[in-house]
Amino acid sequence: MSRGTTKRAKKKSVAANPQRANPLWGGRFASGPDALMEQVNASISFDKALAAQDLAQSRAHCSMLVKTGILSRKDGHAILRGLDAVEREIAAGTFPYTPALEDIHMHVEARLAELIGEAAGRLHTARSRNDQVATDFRLWVRDAIDRIEAALGRLQGVLVERADEHAGTILPGLTHLQPAQPVTFGHHLLAYFEMFDRDRGRMRDCRARLNESPLGAAALAGTTYPIDRRNTAKALGFARPMENSMDAVSARDFALEFLAACSIAAVHLSRLGEELVLWASPRFRYVRLSDAFSTGSSIMPQKRNPDAAELVRAKAGPIIGSLTSLLITMKGLPLTYSKDMQEDKVPTFAAAEQLELCVQVMTGMIADLAVDKAAMRTATSEGFLTATDLADWLVQQLDMPFREAHGVVGRIVRLAEQKSVGLEDLSLADLKLIEPRITSDAQRALSVDVAIARRSSYGGTAPKLVRAAIQRARARLKAQR
């Protein structure tokens, strides 16, 4: 016999050992799984994160079985005591995990059997791992939404407070990263308040849609036992049981919707992170990040790097990737459950963890950000920020069509460039060279302060509107608590 044949024979004999068959589903199998099969099949390395949710739904299921008479009170009490013991072991870090038991559900059931004996085997009556994991996962995502939504609310609170400090602080507003029109820094910060408010809304919408209980759908077709699904749904805080048993065990759109909401929030955080990187650069010098959220260089002692903002910007990539990963996993799956769906948790867990961290980091950066008002104000002298205001004056005072006014001001800007001065530095004679009807009143329109104050349409950047928006934002935050 060749050496390779000997190895294969040994491997086969190990796999054929009936003692290695899984105790929870091994009755159908004469032998246990190959070591590689165990490795690829096991999910306990990541789904032990569902332990709290699995214990909660097991308690709800057990109580319902007792209430409906499917399970005796004696066995029910034993199971609940055993689940309490398992919870204590997990909390203490003494709970025994092994890849041979695949997932958290089998771990809990196996340990329960060791603790209370035969009664443990009755807990799985009228339940499948399919509806069990679907329930656990919905509970986990619901908890993650609550944490992230609350964290976003704290970030909004910090943005509002900083906006209040800078309701009248003027800086250039940009389009195409070019100077466009003057805005207030408070107004700029409130733009992100609105983005994060929509992110919170998406999280709440997702929570409302996922808040239906799959428990009791069993493997895919329901169960023959007289269970009370409304009872378990209520016990777990769900609004109702899911209507269709096949949908209950196979739906993962709640996770997709959650990851989509996470991805959009990550993009908003990334955009703010990018602005902090720009603002903290020597070219802008608008802000200074605190030492708590900056790093240095191993070779250049003068360096002060905005690494926290850069990492918030970078982490949007993996979060978006998590959504793409699960979309691709789900796109070709027939109803109902397939083992592919085991891979739903890793991207979801990772995205939630990273997003929550990014929100917390951004909250810290904004809270102790040092703002250089003088640098912002100085920057408004570049880029002819009040050109549109001069065009508006021509329309309003000379009844000039806006497109014609646009052309007139364009020629005035060209003259200012030739003279290497700002619009406000041009003399009245200079302005009249382009448009003879211009009066000295037009020069007032070229003031940045006047331009800011006149932006008084609803949602505009005028300081009085910004302060009113801050009050409305505070009221919204209070209502959402």
What is the structure's pLDDT at 403? Answer: 96
> For the packed helices 104-116 and 51-67, what is the interaxial angle rounded to 10 degrees?
60
Active-site entry in 290, 297, 338, 427:
297
- Whether 47 contacts 90, CB under 8 Å: no
Q: Identify the burial level of 186 via C-beta atoms within 10 angstroms of its C-beta, where 0-12 means exposed, 13-18 middle and 19 or more buried.
A: buried
What is the structure's pLDDT at 48? Answer: 86
Bond into 336 cis (ω within 30):
yes
Using CA atoms, how far residue 187 sits from 30, 176, 457, 464, in Å, is: 70, 19, 13, 11
What is the structure's pLDDT at 307? Answer: 94
Residues of the chain short of pLDDT 50, as ranges, are: 1-19
CA-based nearest residue to 361, from 284, 270, 431: 270
Q: Which residues pair with 179 in a beta bridge?
A: 174
Cα angle 25, 28, 29 (rounded to 5 degrees) comes to 90
Active-site entry in 176, 298, 420, 457:
176
What token pair was written down for 298?
């191993």
CA–CA separation, 392 vs 415, rounded Å?
19
The rounded percent of the chain whose pLDDT value lies above 70 is: 91
Active site residue 176: yes
CA–CA separation, 133 vs 149, rounded Å?
24
Contacts of 268 (CB under 8 A, 6+ apart): 192, 195, 196, 199
Tell me which H or E stretch contains 184.
strand 178-184
What token pair was written down for 227?
């269970």
